[in-house]
Amino acid sequence: MNISSPPPAIEINSRETQQQLDSKMIKGLMERGLKLPPQPRVVDELQKCQRRQERNVRVVARIISQDAGITAMLFRAVESPVYRHHRPFVSVEKIVQALGIDQVVNIVQAIALATAGNARTHRKIYERFWANSTAIAQLAMLVAEDLVSVCNIFPDQAYLAGVFHDCGVPLLMERFPTYCQAAAPLDQQATWFGLTDEDRKYQTDHAVVGYFVAKHWKLPDFICDAIRFHHDLLRLEDHSARTMVAILQMAFHLYCRSLYIENPEWPHTSATVLYELGMDEITAQEFMDEMLDRYNAVQ
């Protein structure tokens, strides 16, 4: 297999400088009325269990079952072909027992985020956004499952990053009702593009907002960094974060292919993504065809 050399990483003056710039931006946005979504009680209780190293499956299942909405979406999430060898799932306890506490907590955090917002405006657009994000997360999970021995990123981690990666967008739409209107009418088309121009227009950065949400929800550092730079893979030095971004970008490209629409980012990102995932163009085509077959089988 002939894989080209990796593109050079873009130098940043220092990580501290980047964090200072991000902090300044998010502080300004919060002064303008942006609100980060609070963690639901279920997620808070699950994280407390993890911190005290609670490994009792029944306790964890009981906490999750307190929220009927999250429980219903958890059953839907584990219908993914990634978990085909564990099905059928007849209870939350059986899901936790089969997948493990840490994996289930990651999935629950992703589910909880999609239900945490108030969606006071643009409800139809908001629902479409989360449907798109969930689809991308499911594809990211499939990619991670197939490449776990190469990338060392686990499916539940990829799902978590997939749901969170653009979570700054609905928060900015909630704060600025015209955000995204010019870039992509989400109620009329399947996905959204051109957010760089929207960010510039509103003096924001949806990736920075998503990063701070992830930090606020206490996600692992490498996932937070992947969310911050999911459009700028070359800015990352951490291997796990770079790999996660490559998985996200592959998942987004697969999502576009599933809808028979063009991904305008792919010509600029494909070489780096394929290098990070250990593929060349020929093997990548075979891989993508297989991933789409698995994805479409459960749609």
In angstroms, rounded to a whole number, what is the distance separating the alpha carbons of residues 295 and 279? 20
Q: Are 153 and 276 in contact (CB under 8 A)?
A: no
Note whether 92 and 133 are same-domain residues.
no
Note whether 167 and 185 are same-domain residues.
yes
Question: Is residue 102 situated within a structural domain?
Answer: yes
pLDDT of res. 80: 85
Reported pTM: 0.87
Q: How many CB atoms lie within 10 A of CB 176?
A: 18
pLDDT of res. 122: 61
DSSP state of 214: H
Question: Is residue 2 situated within a structural domain?
Answer: no
Single residue among 70, 90, 116 that ends a domain in this structure: 116
Confidence band, pLDDT 50/70/90 cuts, at residue 153? very high
**Structural domains of the chain, count:** 2
Q: Are 217 and 42 in contact (CB under 8 A)?
A: no
- Is 152 a residue whose pLDDT tops 80? yes
- Is 185 a residue whose pLDDT tops 50? no
Least confident interval from 50-64, 87-101, 118-132: 118-132
pLDDT of res. 265: 87
DSSP state of 265: T
Question: Is residue 238 situated within a structural domain?
Answer: yes
Single residue among 73, 100, 116 that ends a domain in this structure: 116
Note whether 218 and 252 are same-domain residues.
yes
Question: What is the pLDDT of the chain when averaged over all its residues?
Answer: 85
Question: Is residue 5 situated within a structural domain?
Answer: no
Residues spanned by the domain of 138: 20-35+119-299
pLDDT of res. 261: 87
* Tokens representing residue 210 in the block: 């998503």
- Is 120 a residue whose pLDDT tops 80? no
Note whether 188 and 148 are same-domain residues.
yes
Note whether 181 and 42 are same-domain residues.
no
Single residue among 116, 141, 162 that ends a domain in this structure: 116
- Is 206 a residue whose pLDDT tops 70? yes
pLDDT of res. 187: 43
Note whether 145 and 275 are same-domain residues.
yes
- Is 94 a residue whose pLDDT tops 70? yes
Phi-psi label, residue 276: left if phi above 0, alpha if psi -120 to 50, beta otherwise: alpha
